[in-house]
Amino acid sequence: MNSKISLVIGLIIPFVMVDFLFPVIDKINMDIAGLPFFMVWIFVWFFLTSGCLGLCWLMFDRRRHLE
């Protein structure tokens, strides 16, 4: 069960947010700091993906490394 939750948090959520929502995000006509919104969205998800992977490690895999 924990490996399924870890897979969803670390892999599925970032994949969906970047790949499947890209057509929706691409239609937003807004600039942030001179960049189109979709570029900012992709750039932010670089860091959020790392955060998701770190969260998976803290919640599920850290116990294995402490033993």
| pLDDT at site 66 | 62
Contact (CB, 8 A) for 9 and 56: yes
Q: 46 pLDDT exceeds 80?
A: yes
Residue 6 pLDDT level (bands cut at 50, 70, 90): confident
* Domain coordinates in residue numbering, the chain: 2-66
In whole angstroms, give the CA distance from residue 55 to residue 11.
12
35, β-bridge pairs? 32
| pLDDT at site 7 | 83
DSSP letter at 21?
S
Give the pLDDT confidence of 14-29 residue by residue, as tens digits: 999 999 998 899 899 9
Mapping DSSP to helix (H, G, I), strand (E, B) and coil, where does residue 4 land?
helix
